[in-house]
Structure 1
Amino acid sequence: MLYYVCGQAGFEKTVVSPDPKHPFNLGITFVAQQNGAPLSDVAVRLRRHGRVLMDFVAGGPRCLFSVPSASYRIEGTYHGEMKFEIVETGTFDTQIKW
């Protein structure tokens, strides 16, 4: 099963995965390049081997995922500009900046 949750910075201290057997194991934050301000309403796609596994609009600047251990491409589109990062499970400090 694949899960995600998005919210404000710091919310990860109070949220838990809906399945205790599969805790959140990947995290990303969306921020402005110039001042580091958090960005919400980013269109997100999570891909593995080119296949889209998740497609949603983030309700906050910080997203956590519960996914099988692997490498993933996380794409974010903000104001029409798409950027991405390749991340491994176990990584929680990745940022995508616009």
Structure 2
Amino acid sequence: MLYYVCGNMNIDGHVTSPDPQHPFNLGVSFVSSGNSPLNEVSVKVRRHGRVLMEFVAAGPHCLFSVPDAEYRVEGTYRGEMKFEIVQTGTMNAQIKW
């Protein structure tokens, strides 16, 4: 199962995965070039080109519970798409506009 939750930048210490067997193991923040948090970012999570998750982030920081692997996390903000390649275990990845 794949899970995600998005919220403010200090969400890490306040939420747990709905499945204790699969804790959150990936974290990505969406920020401006001046490091201001961005909300309402359209997000896609891909593995091997296939979209596994697609949603609009309710906050600037998202946590994911996904199988161990490398993922392409894409964010689209005001029509501009940016992405990062992120390995599970990384909890502080950032995508900047």
TM-score band by shorter chain is over 0.9
Deviations 1:18-72 (A, max 9, x none): 0000000000000000x21000000000000000000000000000000000000
Corresponding position of 1:14: 14
Aligned residue type for 1:53: L
Name the residue aligned to 1:3: 3
CA distance in 2, matches of 1:48, 1:11: 25
Count matched residues: 97
The answer to whether structure 1 residue 75 and structure 2 residue 70 are counterparts is no
RMSD: 0.4
Q: Distance in 2 between matches of 1:67 and 1:93?
A: 15
What SS class does the counterpart of residue 64 from structure 2 fall into? strand
TM-score (normalizing by structure 2): 0.99
Moved over 2 A (4+): none
In 1, distance between residues paired with 2:14 and 2:92? 17
Partner of 1:23: 23
Secondary structure (helix, strand or coil) at the match of 2:20 reads coil
TM-score (norm 1): 0.98
